[in-house]
Amino acid sequence: MSLERLVEITSSNAARIFGMYPKKGTIAPGSDADITIIDPTMNRKLTLDDLHLEDYSIWEGFDIAGWPTTTLLRGQIAVQNGQLLTSPGHGQFLKRSISSDITAAPVC
């Protein structure tokens, strides 16, 4: 999958579906500047710690290629090399709903 397609699936299209675009899902003036930087050369197996889970996940042990190294939240570094650098409550609740553009027509 190309990087451009990954961004469409995980960011742009998701933001459009939930009626949050262009505040979310794009890098543009007026948008939140939430960005995740991925190291595409990192190969590893997922662990429960990676997923912040204590019990079970079907993804545990799954081989992955590429891993997030840095996450920016509204332009500020929130996570770097697996370390959370923000405090609880730093996030911001954004109301979302399914966009009428999505519900007005068949998905396929």
Percentage of the residues of the chain whose pLDDT score is greater than 90: 29
Q: CA angle at residue 4 from 94 to 13, to 5 degrees?
A: 35
Q: What is the pLDDT of residue 100?
A: 75
In SS3 terms, the chain reads as CCHHHHHHHHHHHHHHHCCCCCCCCCCCCCCCCCEEEEEEEEEEECCCCCCCCCCCCCCCCCEEEEEEEEEEECCEEEEECCEECCCCCCCCCCCCCCCHHHHCCCCC
Structural domain boundaries of the chain?
3-101
- pTM for the model stands at 0.69
pLDDT band at 70 (very low <50, low <70, confident <90, very high): very high
Please tell me the class of the 3-101 domain: mainly beta
Q: What is the pLDDT of residue 59?
A: 94
